[in-house]
Structure 1
Amino acid sequence: MFQPNMFESHHLLDMSHKTTESELDMLRDDDYESKSGTDIMEASGDDQDPTQRPNKKKRYHRHTQHQIQELENFFKECPHPDDKQRKALGRRLTLEPLQVKFWFQNKRTQMKAQHERHENSQLRNENEKLRMENIRYKEALTNASCPNCGGPAAIGEMSFDEQHLRVENARLREEIDRISGIAAKYVGKPLLAHPNFSHNGPPRSLDLPITNFTTQSGMVDEMFGTNNLLRPVSGPSEADKPVIIELAVAAMEELVRMAMSGEPLWIRSSDDNSSDSLNDEEYFKTFPRGIGPKQLGFKSEASKESTVVIMNHINIVEILMDVNQWSNVFCGIVSRAMTLEVLSTGVAGNYNGALQVMTAEYQVPSPLVPTREYYFVRYCKQHPDGTWAVVDVSLDNLHPSTISRSRRRPSGCIIQELPNGYSKVTWVEHVEVDDRAVHDIYRLLVNSGLAFGARRWVATLERQCERLASVMANNIPAGDIGVITTIEGRKSMLKLSERMVLSFCSGVGASTTHTWTTLSGSGADDVRVMTRKSVDDPGRPPGIVLSAATSFWIPIPPKQVFDFLRDENSRNEWDILSNSGVVQEMAHIANGRDPGNCVSLLRVNSANSSQGNMLILQESSCDSTGSYVIYAPVDISAMDVVLGGGDPDYVALLPSGFAILPDRPGKHEGGSRIVEVGNGGSLLTVAFQILVDSVPTAKLSLGSVAIVNSLIKCTVEKIKAAVAPENA
């Protein structure tokens, strides 16, 4: 359990609790091994007196030469003595077992540091060799001459040498990053390597030299350029690690109790569509020592939800503990994620006891809802009954200078194995946030818990488990139709569609990695735009990509909007690119129990014969918390390769699409009239990506912005006219 001033003390738990002490010992082993020799001090037995005054100076024991020699000899045979061996050695050398334990810890740390210094020296020598070799290549390129005429060599004639130089440069950068990493960990110097973000994040936005184009947000050239990093947070210091370990163990205990508790801690909602709500008074009575009081201006959000998914419990644990898998599976929620440091990898070859310090950004698919950034520790544990638990808890209080608009109290899930490869997952989300920047039309959704709560996590997991089961199928199910004739072709098309969905989700929200520019007014349905530069990305056409998005409320149930947008027969009612042509489904892959969960390949037979035929890859998915219709035009020859089982990574895609979320009961003031939001309506986000120039170094023209703005507004009007003509 936590103390109220837990971040000022390392004694946070009652260590008489046997289970807690064993967990701490298991996790601390790795932590102590990573300390430098000067960080671990050997204290006399008197230093362990609990009545000793905190400011009293510690006394140190200096071993005799004989004791040191005996300890050295024993260390050569057994560097990790157990309790029995330490006691026997202590009796023989007239030392306390604790003194023996500290000596061996110091010795192991010293040996490790010597090994790292030796390796560091070798790497520096290798780095110097690579640098000198690099210089020689540069000189060779500079002084190269044509063998026929003796003049300067043309660029084309140096292609082989240039390629060799590029390879050497790449090797050199890897070595520099490796050396910098070792220096940062063991010498205390700053890390030069760039953070390793999950690959599903958007590329760096482009700073555009645009002038004379004023919006409410200011000049466009001031708004389009952004950074590509999460809120900068460094990894934990050595002094923080014991606190983090104890915090994680206590958070695990709280998560398990919250997941297994019912009333009065959780109040069951009378509405079957709502999650259980937390009784705050009962919570603080049950967990009085938590992570401290709620911060000023923050509000609490807590929810609990259970579901059964078609996935082995071990596979679920692996997804949660691998940052790339986790951010990909939950790409609709996790816009970016990064592991800062792994404090423990677990024991016995699995994730039992794994401990990681992470940072992540959570989103709603709309630029009108600010993302939530968290700096937290994730702890995984297998309990004696065979269930697994993964818990997160914020570490912001370790860095009080860090400004945060959200923090996670113990949150996570309990995973129970069921027969036939199924698992029961119980999810608890408990956060405190400042959500005052949420746009009014999304406020009811956020307050209901559907935006960031437990139900959205379990619904996403359930849908993704069904999709993964479809990907792993070793036959072509009866629900699949069309031109797909092989298992390899089916898997390649699903893989291509997965990348399309990841790309769409990473760019539709209000992530801190990019800044949307509002083109008009300040209403909900204003178009917001941003630019990206694509260079040397085989999965994206080269040039300048303009992204545009808008969100608005529509008084039509989400299911009706979803069915209209995904149906190829109604596509020409809203899709300007189809040019009123006939749309035909050439291939259909079912990847879920709901008929709306599928991947389709569509052919557009345009009425304009000069345009020829066009193929569109589309994935539609829905669950109880929202739905997506995501699509991208694809090259016919490239799709022939994919359908034949070829590598889909080199098919260029620019996905566009729709995110459809349900609203919640309540009323919203909309201008001079009352707009009924919450009576079964939908919150619809429309997002386009368009290649406006195939030259990455080009400047964005005002005409391109105007065309995209007109395109997205025309699409919105067509959708409203088709599904809600009385509100159009």
Structure 2
Amino acid sequence: MFQPNMFENHHHLLDMGHKSPEDELDIIRDDEFESKSGTDIMEVPGSGDEQDPNQRPNKKKRYHRHTQHQIQEMETFFKECPHPDDKQRKELGRRLALEPLQVKFWFQNKRTQMKAQHERSENSQLRAENEKLRTENIRYKEALTNATCPNCGGPAAIGEMSFDEQHLRIENARLREEIDRISGIAAKYVGKPMLTYPHLAPTPGATSRALDNIVGGSNNFAPQSGIVGEMYGASNDILRTFPRPTDADKPFIIELAVAAMEELVRLSQAGEPLWIQNSSHISEVTLCQEEYMRTFPRGIGPTPLGFTSESSRESAVVIMNHLSLVDILMELDKWTRVFAGLVSRALVLEVLSTGVAGNKNGALQVMTAEFQVPSPLVPTRENYFVRYCKQQADGTWAVVDVSLDNLRPNQIPRCRRRPSGCIIQEFPNGYSKVTWIEHIEFDDRAVHSIYKPLVNSGLGFGAKRWIATLDRQCERLASAMASNIPAGDVSAVINTTEGRKSMLKLAERMVMSFCSGVGASTAHTWTTLSGSGSDDVRVMTRKSVDDPGRPPGIVLSAATSFWLPVPVKRVFDFLRDENSRSEWDILSNGGLVQEMEHIANGRDPGNCVSLLRVNSANSSQSNMLILQESCTDPTGSYVIYAPVDVIAMNVVLGGGDPDYVALLPSGFAILPDGQGTNGGRMYEMGSGGGSLLTVAFQILVDSVPTAKLSLESVATVNNLIKCTVERIKSAVICDTQ
């Protein structure tokens, strides 16, 4: 828990440069200047420290009145940066025909004036709260004095007042807490008392509504490929239940963000004994918790009872400009697109600062997000946190997150993040070196047993997964922005770069839709069809209305996860290969699958977008087009696909807008099982350990959004997904024997 006045050198979050002691302390020296309503500055030749106190000044004091234009310009600058450094003062003085010292004095006056106004406002609020407390106490005393027995009408006995007394105690305790909080703010103490967390009971599995509630009249079953996508029509209502910060909370948030930034930078540079070699996990180093608590004794409090601590640090050189990386991390839409496999949902609750000088330096925002593993068997980790971005003195950029759970003491989180984030260093030729740090505390008792080794290894939510995802996505973005068609592409129908970009954009939407719907997000209501085994099928229904990117009607989503004694690479290569597709894809109906387009979007040959044509064995059936993206990195792999309309796809290939192509994405998420040899590092070579495979489909069961689901449809999709699983198991296990 951060204590009062512990960061006395960081009172001003938006300070972008070095400040002199006078700037830091905001002191107006009477022997240097006086102010008249913030517009007149009295100038004295030399400071009082340089003159004999017994010697009378040989010149009269002179006053300088700023022009209205000068005041307006400095007022505007003050709103963005109340603490300009020497360079900024000189530049401002040059533009306004003022000496840097005059600019300095004006800003000191302005800060003092603002501080005085703020303190007057706080004092007024404090007096009002005191009066409220006094009035409430008088009212309660009168109520106690005049209380009567409800049975006889006489004076109430002490024992009969126990309920009222308890109510009064609770109310008075609340009022005392409120007045103490305001008093603390008025005194500039922004620390919070350390919270104690009771032992957490095991989190029960999400209770799904019974099938009786989602099954209605009979419907014809019309299978159409697809997989779990976003929850159609779902909003961020659950995320919006997190509190917006009050004005009283903001000083605490600022102090917490500044301290978290300092901690992140130190963690990125430290070695032993703070970071120690780790042979039992995927990450090569982990924090020594005893040394960590000695180095950073003040923080967000001790690890809650029953929580597991996970820490990791990874570095990589990625193909992206450092400022573009900062924009991705600080812009919600970009961040959720790049990390779609990790971030199921996110919301910015409040922006406290947008930064200064036209960039993200000093940007500060309060957020909430769900982090996920692509399987219904791993609960998402909901975080309520502040994100702070700052350029360091050496030119590097840092972005840090830290949990704000102390601002909602009545709710016990299942997960919280100690200072986590990344340091971004500029490299030549548009490259950047990124050092990522994740320090998480979580309750893993709701994680299914087959996924616990993966989660505990750090491959589920640790720094390795964040950095591997970022590296792969940077390659994908570089491919999408290519101004010509690279030699690695195989094209039969795309002749323009516009068509190539449209196809990549459509594939990106397909991947995001898959990732947002395959996990255990709180926006989903999964129903387990049978038993409690890991490979049981889970289903949910969604309704699509007036969405040009999805077919209208009722969609049934189904997913299952299971373990395979086969390395990730073997499963990934089998599922993405069009030549082996007929071995598992029931919809291909034994037809020949041909790759018409192939767009490479990464160093690994498995990272690509393809357009497949299924030539049906039955001449009476029309051919089918399938859009597919496969991607892989050391922490996992995906094969995601969706049938596409031929006419709509021709528009996309010609460079048309892909947003109006209706998709129901299906696919596979293939993760290592966390039990490989040598701490799992053989997964990177694809030759060790087993795989955790999640299979998911989407079925359009009725084109009428108001229709209900039939038991027949549920049974059909259950059989469909189980048949697919058996085919995959048979094919990949037999091939390895």
Shared fold, TM over 0.5: yes
1:615 to 625, 628, 631: 625
User: SS of the residue aligned with 2:606?
Assistant: coil
Equivalent in the alignment of 2:556: 546
**Paired AA for residue 424 in structure 1:** K
Q: Which residue of 1 aligns with 2:352?
A: 343
Aligned partner of 1:461 in structure 2 is 470
Contact 1:24/1:246 (CA < 8 Å) preserved in 2? no
Contact 2:276-2:288 at 8 Å conserved across structures: yes
The aligned residue for residue 263 of structure 1 is 272
Q: Is the partner of 1:695 in helix, strand or coil?
A: coil
Q: Distance between the aligned counterparts of 1:411 and 1:341, measured in 2? A: 20
- Residues 643 and 107 from structure 1, CA distance in 2 versus in 1: closer, same or farther, beyond 3 angstroms? farther
Contact 2:562 2:692 in 1 (8 A): yes
Task: Decide which of 589, 603, 619 is 2:599's aligned counterpart.
Answer: 589
CA–CA separation in structure 1 for the residues paired with 2:430 and 2:487? 22
RMSD: 3.5
- What CA deviation, in whole Å up to 9, does each residue of 1:181-218 have, x standing for no partner? xxxxxxxxxxxxxxxxxxxxxxxx999954699xxxxx
2:480 to 468, 471, 481: 471
The one-letter code of the counterpart of 2:612 is L
From 562, 586, 592, give the equivalent of 2:572: 562
Q: Is this contact kept in 2: 1:539–1:651, CA < 8 A?
A: yes
Decide whether the 8 Å contact of 2:579 with 2:593 is kept in 1.
yes
2:474 is aligned with 1:481: no
Q: Is 1:86–1:97's contact at 8 Å kept on the other side of the alignment?
A: no
Residues 206 and 532 of structure 1 are in contact (CA less than 8 Å); yes or no, is this contact kept in structure 2?
no
Q: CA deviation at 1:664?
A: 1.9
Change (3 A) 1:88 1:295: closer
> In structure 2, the residue corresponding to 1:438 is in which secondary structure?
coil
CA distance in 2 between counterparts of 1:400 and 1:598 reads: 47
* SS in structure 2 of the partner of residue 724 of structure 1: helix
What displacement does 1:270 show?
A: 4.0
Alignment correspondent of 1:118: none
> What does the per-residue CA deviation read over 1:603-653, in whole Å, with 9 as the maximum and x for residues that have no partner?
001112232100000000000000000000001111111111111111100
Q: Distance in 2 between matches of 1:434 and 1:608?
A: 53
In structure 1, give the amino acid aligned to 2:340: C
Q: Could you tell me how far apart the structure 2 residues matched to 1:347 and 1:229 are?
A: 32
For residues 689 and 89 of structure 1, what CA distance do their matches in structure 2 show? 65
Q: Which residue of 2 aligns with 1:700?
A: 709
What's the secondary structure of 1:562's corresponding residue? helix
The answer on whether the counterparts of 1:572 and 1:582 sit within 8 Å (CA) in structure 2 is yes
Unmatched 5+ residue regions in structure 1? 28-42, 46-63, 110-204, 214-222, 668-677
Identical columns (%):
69
Structure 1 residues 226 and 630: alpha-carbon distance in aligned structure 2, compared to 1, 3 A threshold? closer
Q: What CA distance in whole angstroms lies between the structure 2 residues aligned with 1:314 and 1:225?
A: 34
Deviations 1:687-725 (A, max 9, x none): 101111000011111111111111000000000010113
Contact 1:86 1:101 in 2 (8 A): no
1:318 is the counterpart of 2:327: yes
**Structure 1, residues 540-583: CA drift from partner, whole Å, max 9, x if none?**
00000111000000000000000000000000000000001100
Amino acid at match of 2:337: N
Offset of 1:328 from its aligned partner?
0.6
- Corresponding position of 2:537: 527
Match among 376, 383, 392 for residue 385 of structure 2 = 376
Q: What are the equivalent positions in structure 2 for 1:619-634 lying under 5 Å apart?
A: 619-634=629-644
Offset from partner CA, 1:365-419 (integer Å, 9 cap, x none):
0000000000000000001211000000000101111231111100000000001
CA distance in 1, matches of 2:110, 2:326: 38
Question: Which residues of 2 match residues 357-396 of structure 1 at below 5 A?
Answer: 357-396=366-405
| CA displacement, residues 250-277 of structure 1 (integer Å, 9 cap, x when unaligned) | 0000000001111111112347953311
Partner residue, 1:230: 238
- In the alignment, is the contact (CA less than 8 A) between 1:227 and 1:514 conserved in 2? no
Is the 8 Å Cα contact of residues 389 and 412 (structure 1) preserved in structure 2? yes
Q: What code does the residue aligned with 2:417 have?
A: R
Determine the structure 2 residue equivalent to 1:651: 661
1:438 to 434, 439, 447: 447
Unpaired segments ≥5 residues, structure 2: 18-25, 29-34, 42-64, 84-100, 123-208, 218-230, 678-686
Counterpart for residue 78 of structure 1: 71
1:690 partnered with 2:699: yes
Separation of aligned partners in 2, 1:543 and 1:634: 17
**8 Å Cα contact 2:215-2:709 kept in structure 1:** no
Q: 1:250–1:103: structure 2 CA closer, same or farther, 3 Å change rule?
A: closer
C-alpha separation between the residues in 1 aligned to 2:445 and 2:637? Answer: 25
Instruction: For residue 89 of structure 1, report the CA deviation from its aligned partner.
Output: 8.5
CA 1:602–1:22 in 2, change beyond 3 Å: closer, same or farther? same
Q: 1:212 & 1:537 partners in 2: Cα distance?
A: 24
Structure 1 position 415 matched with structure 2 position 424: yes
User: Secondary structure of the residue that 1:338 maps to in structure 2?
Assistant: strand
* Residue pairs, 1:121-270, within 5 angstroms: 209-210=213-214, 229-231=237-239, 232-270=241-279
After superposition, the Cα gap between the structure-2 partners of 1:87 and 1:69, relative to the gap in structure 1 and judged at 3 Å, is closer
Distance 1:354 1:611, change over 3 A: same
Matched residue, 1:135 = none
Residue 718 in 1 paired to residue 727 in 2?
yes
Give 1:37's aligned residue.
none
Report the more deviating stretch, 437-446 or 400-409.
400-409
- Find the aligned partners of 1:645 and 1:521 in 2 and give their Cα distance: 48
Alpha-carbon separation, structure 2, partners of 1:212 and 1:475: 53
CA distance in 1, matches of 2:676, 2:428: 43
Residues 68, 466 of structure 1: alpha-carbon distance in 2 compared, 3 angstrom cutoff: closer
Which residue in 2 is equivalent to 1:30? none
State the distance in 2 between where 1:376 and 1:561 align: 37
Q: Distance in 2 between matches of 1:692 and 1:421?
A: 48
Q: What is the alpha-carbon distance in structure 2 between the residues aligned to residue 242 and residue 323 of structure 1?
A: 24
SS in 1 for 2:708: coil
CA distance in 2 between partners of 1:272 and 1:239 (Å):
42
The residue identity in structure 2 corresponding to 1:289 is: R
The one-letter code of the counterpart of 2:238 is L
Residue deviations 1:209-250, cap 9 Å, x none? Answer: 54699xxxxxxxxx9998753341121000000111111000
Q: How many residues align?
A: 568
Flag the structure with larger Rg: 2
Cα distance change on mapping 1:643 and 1:22 into 2, 3 Å: same
- 1:117 match: none
- Tell whether the 8 Å contact from 1:275 to 1:455 is kept in structure 2 after alignment: no
Kindly state the Cα deviation for residue 486 of structure 1 after the two structures are TM-superposed: 1.1
- Specify the SS of the correspondent of 1:458: helix
Q: CA contact under 8 A between 2:672 and 2:690: conserved in structure 1? A: yes
DSSP-derived class of the 1:301 partner? strand
Normalised by the length of structure 2, the TM-score is 0.72
Larger RCO (CA under 8 A, 6+ residues apart): 2
CA gap 1:268/1:44 in 2 versus in 1, 3 angstroms: closer
Q: Which moved more, 1:289-298 or 1:496-505?
A: 289-298
Native 8 Å contact 1:591 1:599 kept in 2: yes
User: How far has the Cα of 1:104 moved from its partner?
Assistant: 7.1
Q: 1:682 to 1:212 in 2, by over 3 A?
A: same
